[in-house]
Amino acid sequence: MSRKRIGLVGYFGFGNYGDELFVSVYEKFFHDCELVRMHDSINAPFYVENLAEKIDTLDAIIIGGGDLIIPNAFPTLYYDERFLKKPVFYHGVGVPMWLGENQSIIDRIKPFYAHPSVRKINVRDLESKAWVDKRFATPVEVDHSVDMVFSLDLPAPVKTKGQKVFGLILRKFEATPERWHNVKALCDRAREQGYAIKNIVLATGRTREDDLASLSSFDYPEAEIVSPDDLWELTRIIGSCDVIASMKFHGIVVAFAYGVPAISLSTTDKFVNLCRRIERMDLSAHVDHPDLAERLPRYPAIVPSTTRAVLKAEASAAMTRLRHAVLGEFD
């Protein structure tokens, strides 16, 4: 079989940690294909070159992952009618239902999931599947699996002997210093329990710069700021922590994949759905919860190896199904 040329549509190249890991997942499962990022720029207009000509050179297009079905906004980066000239495969797509719904926006997105060019649709949780099944008439059955990042082979962490580490992952966030009160209380509790605090800037490139700038409102000098501009070093740092608290979803995903208990600092759908999936609602919290510090017990329970194996197997099986579907187009 000749080397296939596959277009990737997603939030790639901006430095957002989870989205850059998605690219690594595609590289793992389509190692024998040529993968082409569809957008040419990380600034609007995203498609600088002749998009139609680029599409003509492709064999198929994969769109995802992430929260791409946004019920109250139409993201032009992900939806362009010209993509539908080729076989289209949606993978790892989520629905951020917490944003509310605008029916006119849903009606604009709907045709992209109903088109006969669509060969496969995979969403990253049962809740997103239920939403799509209710609102869209899809030409294929909607598949679901846990986030694709669980399929990655993660680098070995390097732990410091004799030191307990509490990893804190924040993000660009509109907040007054007073709004950080509960997070500081959580850090205080961690320090009381003997943890060293590492404030991990979980991003690269432009997003890293934005996250670093936003830390000015979080004044906690006892936390060491850790900000390597390297995707895999950031991943290794998460694995080296004993506990994580994260405003970023893939900080939680990667921590769980390592077995590290991770307290979510957001209650958007994807955080809650994942905690529910692994039956760890004790880890579901928000920066505004006054009892946030109580989420850190003296002896936090790790994510068992059996749970991690199930998550990896499920994500890997979904990626294998995607590979077979894409390459099966050319048999």
Those residues with Cβ within 8 angstroms of residue 63's Cβ, 6 or more apart along the chain or in another chain: 9, 10, 78, 83, 88, 89, 90, 91, 93
> Are 304 and 217 in a shared domain?
yes
Residue 174 has a pLDDT of 76
Tokens of 93: 């797509």
> Are 28 and 111 in a shared domain?
yes
What does the alpha-carbon distance between residue 290 and residue 295 come to, in Å, rounded to a whole number?
A: 11
Phi and psi angles of residue 323, each rounded to the nearest 5 degrees, phi first? -60, -45
Whether 144 maps to a domain, the answer reads yes
Those residues with Cβ within 8 angstroms of residue 69's Cβ, 6 or more apart along the chain or in another chain: 93, 94, 95, 109, 128, 131, 132
Whether 159 maps to a domain, the answer reads no
Whether 129 maps to a domain, the answer reads yes
What does the alpha-carbon distance between residue 45 and residue 285 come to, in Å, rounded to a whole number?
A: 37
> Are 126 and 255 in a shared domain?
no
What does the alpha-carbon distance between residue 290 and residue 287 come to, in Å, rounded to a whole number?
A: 8
Per DSSP, 249 falls in state H
Whether 200 maps to a domain, the answer reads yes
> Are 174 and 238 in a shared domain?
yes
Q: How far is CA 75 from the centre of its chain?
A: 17
Whether 157 maps to a domain, the answer reads no
Residue 191 has a pLDDT of 98
Per the listing, tokens 């000509």 go with 53
What does the alpha-carbon distance between residue 118 and residue 137 come to, in Å, rounded to a whole number?
A: 12
> Are 300 and 176 in a shared domain?
yes
> Are 123 and 213 in a shared domain?
no
- What total number of domains does the chain contain? 2
Residue 200 has a pLDDT of 97
> Are 280 and 168 in a shared domain?
yes
Whether 158 maps to a domain, the answer reads no
CA angle 108/25/141 to nearest 5° reads 45
Walking along the chain (331 residues) 10 residues at a time, the average pLDDT comes out as: 91 97 98 96 87 96 96 95 97 96 97 98 97 97 98 93 94 81 97 97 96 88 96 98 98 98 97 97 96 95 97 98 93 67
> Are 294 and 319 in a shared domain?
no
> Are 267 and 324 in a shared domain?
no
What does the alpha-carbon distance between residue 315 and residue 140 come to, in Å, rounded to a whole number?
A: 20
Residue 162 has a pLDDT of 87
Cis peptide before 18 (omega within 30 of 0): no
What does the alpha-carbon distance between residue 236 and residue 255 come to, in Å, rounded to a whole number?
A: 10
Whether 156 maps to a domain, the answer reads no
CB 248, CB 17: distance < 8 Å: yes
> Are 25 and 122 in a shared domain?
yes
Per DSSP, 30 falls in state T
Q: Is the dihedral angle over the CA atoms 90, 94, 96, 97 positive or is it negative?
A: positive
Range of the domain at 210: 164-309
> Are 115 and 253 in a shared domain?
no
> Are 121 and 136 in a shared domain?
yes
Residue 1 has a pLDDT of 57
Per DSSP, 16 falls in state B
Phi and psi angles of residue 63, each rounded to the nearest 5 degrees, phi first? -115, 125
Residue 179 has a pLDDT of 84
Residue 331 has a pLDDT of 67
CATH number at residue 111: 3.40.50
Those residues with Cβ within 8 angstroms of residue 318's Cβ, 6 or more apart along the chain or in another chain: 91, 122, 143, 145, 148, 151
CATH number at residue 206: 3.40.50.2000
